[in-house]
Structure 1
Amino acid sequence: MSKTFYIETFGCQMNAHDSEKVIGTLEHEGYAQVQDEAEAGLILYNTCSIRDKAEQKVFHRLNEYKKMQGEGKRFAVIGCVAQQEGEKIFEKAPYVSIVSGSASYRNLPEMLARLEAGETRITGLDDRQTNETFETEFTSRTNPHRGYITIIEGCDKFCAYCVVPYTRGKERSRTADSVLAEARRIADSGYTEIQLLGQNVNSYADPSGKKSFAELLEAVGTVPGIRRVRFTTSHPRHFTRDIVEVLDAVPTLCDHVHLPVQSGSSDVLKAMAREYTRDWYLERIAWIKAAKREISMTSDIIVGFPGETEEDFEQTATLLGEVGYDAIYAFKYSPRPNTPAITMADSIYEELKIDRLKRLNDIQRDLQRISYERHLGQTMEVMVEGHNRQRGQVIGRSSQNKTVNFTTTQPILPAPGSYVNVRITQTFPNSLVGEAA
């Protein structure tokens, strides 16, 4: 087998950052990354099983490339689908050689050695109860302007609809010292923005007992050279007042909170096993709104959960106006393997789920159009992420995590990762347009 590899990533930011660490590990083991699967000796699929389509894509892709088995190529399925499906993947796709869940990534060097020795069925599936995290100094960072740090892995929440606790294992946090050491390495490499990651990032519990999540935020925010710190995704059950207080106190912490509500109905939240009510959630929103800074808020919402009545849906719809989200990520419920919700009677037909999703997005679009208009005439600091040469625009992002497309009169366009003050001249429901000030 040629010591070259191609990796394709499905799913969330956690998966994307996991791939950065997997790539770094492979390169440290003497493998070279290629951008075309035809040139690779090892083809890896880092998989997601949060939604059904991502899972289907993986098996479709495997079937598409099985003809390459005869060329001596090896295949690895890693991540959530690997943990969920386990050794059944060998039955569905017998040409796959490695099946590994994310909790076993730290064992990748050993698995690669076994692969090179000629083994054809290698699994890393038994580590969901581990207390260890996947830490490596060999992360291959692919984002040129934002450095990601996973501070907590796994999930203990067992929401009725969610497969993550069954695929990523129990919650386990890195020490604050480890996180800060990585933050300093990122800063020394020239990055000015850090994003802290976790399935429930604010459930962080320092094994050494030195820092709370809010204290860790403050410490990362004061690392020399760092201008912006983001974190995602928070859980309402662990969203505490000191998080808002530290956002107010430390200017480098971005003024944006992503706080998934999932439903505006307390009855549906109870069925989802979210362990909070609408009023509990709104109390935390009130803390955010009372901050000295204006903090942008975004959320995740599921419509059509089993048993959701029209009244329940209306409570979710009214929540949008009550909170004033700057964006939502809404999805219709789909049953996932091994979750408690899969045994619930799903009496809501598909057409109604689609209708509710459309209605919710329509409401949010109208609210967002009005919300974004408040930025008209403002000057905001924008971090450059790229260029749209066809439109003659620079693409960037504000501290509030809003996309800002702007023009500049300078002959040389600002480089990705640089910061530009932009005066907002036009607003849209999902983006802002402006001119370099």
Structure 2
Amino acid sequence: MTDLSILSGKTYFIRTFGCQMNLHDSERVSGLLDSLGCLQALDPKDADIVIFMTCCVREAADTRLYGQCSSCKSLPASPSGRRVVAVGGCIAQRDGEGLLTNLDNVDVIFGTHSIAHVGDLLADAFADGDRHVRVEEIDSGAATEMPWHRETAYHAWVPIMTGCNNFCSYCIVPYVRGREKSRPMEEIVDEVTGLVRQGVRSVTLLGQNVNSYGRDHGSAPRFAELLRRVGETGVERIYFTSSHPKDLLPETIDAIAEVPAVMPQLHLAVQSGSSRILKLMNRKYTREQYLDLVDRVRDRIPDIALTTDIIVGFPGETEEDFEQTVTLVDEAKFAQAFTFIYSKRAGTPAAEIDDPTPRSVIQQRFDRLVRHVETTAFDYNQRFLGTTVPMLIEGTSKKNDAVLQGKSPWNQTVHCPVPEGMDARQLIGKILDVRVDAARTWYLSGSSLGDPR
């Protein structure tokens, strides 16, 4: 039996790459290590345990991981004299023991379904000096029972399901996160209720496709019902991600419109504006269906901040296909769009498609798309000029400690000078009304009105 006491007093550092699900996994790992008597370090040079929580959605993630692991070789000796380097997350799930060949200084590998066993793996590595790997194919759900170490007291990530059944042709996620598995609704509601008692004001419900929540239990999707139940817990702000267009039901749109705690922001990844490319991507909707969905959402929630993901350079994308993406951006009028150049992922169907398009052409298209996205984002923010928005304060601007930074209900970044006579550190997690005096492409700024609450 593993002696976990060997970890007591050890220092640890976690670096996270990728999506919000990875961030939440890191919080769980951190919470487990805290419970075992470990101490968090702010820099890898001060850590006995260095953990990289990885993402494998894009090829650059692999290169980045190898560079980060290699850099650990040049770190000074750890406080205890023995440093254990671990790799978890999606790359670990995908490559398993294969990583040991390419990363000769890595001691522990754990997959996405094995984070509950991190303590045992690390303790064994310290005890015997060997390399340890655990990559399970099925998620037992044990991770949801782990303690967690939240980075902020006012916000929490709340996973409602794991896995994905969609198998978009470019995406590795179903292979590393497994099939969809929904948590019981009562368990989620109880968790959020407990978080509210702890002072959490904002939660983000997490899933690869939250719109299909509950379908794996043999029923119709129940995400709308879940939103209403979570809205009754007393939490002040509810966000969620990700939301697949093909599964966004009218009752979910109604819940967003009718539940006061559900914020008027919807991330609805389109990926391409060309129906031909969407079919190759296996997205299961057309350009026309997506735009019709946007119209239905806006009819019900006129001020909604609609955000999206777009891939440029999918294999076989022509200039005509790309132009359809540009015109869709202009029609949909996104408040924000996350744009990516296609990255081939071994093991996905799209990786087998040959594409003669020069990289320079793809880059030019990407740059053009970014300019259109910047225009729609700027135009969306203009409607807030002269209005008052409630900002949930997250801290201060990286550029100026005298300026508060936070989020509006529409998930916009908001800047505001620290009110005279107040300590910015004591304002974190409070809500402050801000009169918007300037609306830029990626943020709003203004002056405070009234007292923080």
Q: TM-score range by the shorter chain?
A: over 0.9
Match of 1:420 in 2: 432
Find the residue that maps to 2:300 and give its secondary structure.
Answer: coil
Is residue 153–residue 199 contact of structure 2 (8 Å, CA) maintained in 1? no
Mapped to 2, the partners of 1:11 and 1:264 lie a distance apart of: 25
Q: Which moved more, 1:352-361 or 1:52-61?
A: 52-61
Choose from 341, 361, 377 the match for 1:368.
Answer: 377
Match of 1:429 in 2: 441
Deviation at 1:22, TM superposition (A): 0.8
Mapped to 2, the partners of 1:228 and 1:137 lie a distance apart of: 24
Is residue 42–residue 75 contact of structure 1 (8 Å, CA) maintained in 2? yes
Q: Indicate yes or no: 2:32 matched with 1:20.
A: no
Match of 2:3 in 1: none
Find the residue that maps to 1:134 and give its secondary structure.
Answer: helix
Choose from 173, 183, 202 the match for 1:174.
Answer: 183
Deviation at 1:141, TM superposition (A): 0.4
Is residue 154–residue 200 contact of structure 2 (8 Å, CA) maintained in 1? yes
Q: 1:186-239 deviations in whole A, cap 9, x for unaligned?
A: 111111111111121222117767981111111111212x11000011111211
Mapped to 1, the partners of 2:400 and 2:42 lie a distance apart of: 26
Choose from 91, 98, 105 the match for 2:101.
Answer: 91
Deviation at 1:413, TM superposition (A): 4.7
Q: Which moved more, 1:299-308 or 1:77-86?
A: 77-86
Relative to structure 1, the CA distance from residue 373 to residue 413 in structure 2 (aligned partners, 3 Å threshold; closer, same or farther) is farther
Match of 1:59 in 2: 66
Match of 2:329 in 1: 320
Q: Which moved more, 1:135-144 or 1:331-340?
A: 135-144
Mapped to 2, the partners of 1:130 and 1:390 lie a distance apart of: 44
Q: 1:366-391 deviations in whole A, cap 9, x for unaligned?
A: 22222221111111111111123837
Match of 2:114 in 1: 104
Stretches of 4+ aligned residues off by more than 6 angstroms? 206-211
Mapped to 2, the partners of 1:269 and 1:207 lie a distance apart of: 25
Mapped to 2, the partners of 1:268 and 1:133 lie a distance apart of: 38
Paired residues in the alignment total: 435
Is residue 84–residue 126 contact of structure 2 (8 Å, CA) maintained in 1? no
Match of 1:188 in 2: 197
Q: Indicate yes or no: 2:120 matched with 1:120.
A: no
Q: Indicate yes or no: 2:336 matched with 1:304.
A: no
Match of 1:334 in 2: 343
Is residue 109–residue 133 contact of structure 2 (8 Å, CA) maintained in 1? yes
Find the residue that maps to 2:433 and give its secondary structure.
Answer: strand
Q: Which moved more, 1:259-268 or 1:232-241?
A: 232-241
Find the residue that maps to 1:370 and give its secondary structure.
Answer: helix
Q: 1:256-290 deviations in whole A, cap 9, x for unaligned?
A: 00000000000000111111111221222122111
Relative to structure 1, the CA distance from residue 120 to residue 249 in structure 2 (aligned partners, 3 Å threshold; closer, same or farther) is same
Match of 2:281 in 1: 272
Mapped to 1, the partners of 2:241 and 2:381 lie a distance apart of: 22
Deviation at 1:312, TM superposition (A): 0.5
Give the alignment's TM-score, normalised by structure 1. Answer: 0.94
Deviation at 1:32, TM superposition (A): 2.3
Relative to structure 1, the CA distance from residue 69 to residue 385 in structure 2 (aligned partners, 3 Å threshold; closer, same or farther) is closer
Deviation at 1:69, TM superposition (A): 10
Relative to structure 1, the CA distance from residue 206 to residue 31 in structure 2 (aligned partners, 3 Å threshold; closer, same or farther) is farther
Match of 2:228 in 1: 218
Is residue 176–residue 208 contact of structure 1 (8 Å, CA) maintained in 2? no
Q: Which moved more, 1:36-45 or 1:407-416?
A: 407-416
Q: Indicate yes or no: 2:364 matched with 1:355.
A: yes
Q: Which moved more, 1:286-295 or 1:68-77?
A: 68-77
Q: 1:312-370 deviations in whole A, cap 9, x for unaligned?
A: 10110000111110010001111012111111002221111110110001112122222
Find the residue that maps to 2:289 and give its secondary structure.
Answer: helix
Mapped to 2, the partners of 1:216 and 1:367 lie a distance apart of: 32
Deviation at 1:29, TM superposition (A): 2.7
Is residue 174–residue 206 contact of structure 1 (8 Å, CA) maintained in 2? no
Relative to structure 1, the CA distance from residue 292 to residue 370 in structure 2 (aligned partners, 3 Å threshold; closer, same or farther) is closer
Relative to structure 1, the CA distance from residue 104 to residue 30 in structure 2 (aligned partners, 3 Å threshold; closer, same or farther) is same
- Please list, as runs of the form range in 1=range in 2, the aligned pairs for 1:222-237 lying within 5 A after superposition: 222-224=232-234, 226-237=235-246
Mapped to 2, the partners of 1:413 and 1:121 lie a distance apart of: 48
Relative to structure 1, the CA distance from residue 408 to residue 38 in structure 2 (aligned partners, 3 Å threshold; closer, same or farther) is closer
Relative to structure 1, the CA distance from residue 82 to residue 184 in structure 2 (aligned partners, 3 Å threshold; closer, same or farther) is same
Is residue 159–residue 206 contact of structure 2 (8 Å, CA) maintained in 1? yes
- Please list, as runs of the form range in 1=range in 2, the aligned pairs for 1:390-409 lying within 5 A after superposition: 390=400, 392-407=402-417, 409=419
Give the alignment's TM-score, normalised by structure 2. Answer: 0.91
Q: 1:146-190 deviations in whole A, cap 9, x for unaligned?
A: 111111111111111111111212211111111112111211111
Relative to structure 1, the CA distance from residue 313 to residue 292 in structure 2 (aligned partners, 3 Å threshold; closer, same or farther) is closer
Mapped to 1, the partners of 2:182 and 2:188 lie a distance apart of: 10
2:430 partner letter: S
Deviation at 1:94, TM superposition (A): 2.8
Percent same amino acid at aligned positions? Answer: 34
Is residue 163–residue 178 contact of structure 2 (8 Å, CA) maintained in 1? yes
Mapped to 1, the partners of 2:51 and 2:396 lie a distance apart of: 30
Q: Which moved more, 1:280-289 or 1:115-124?
A: 115-124
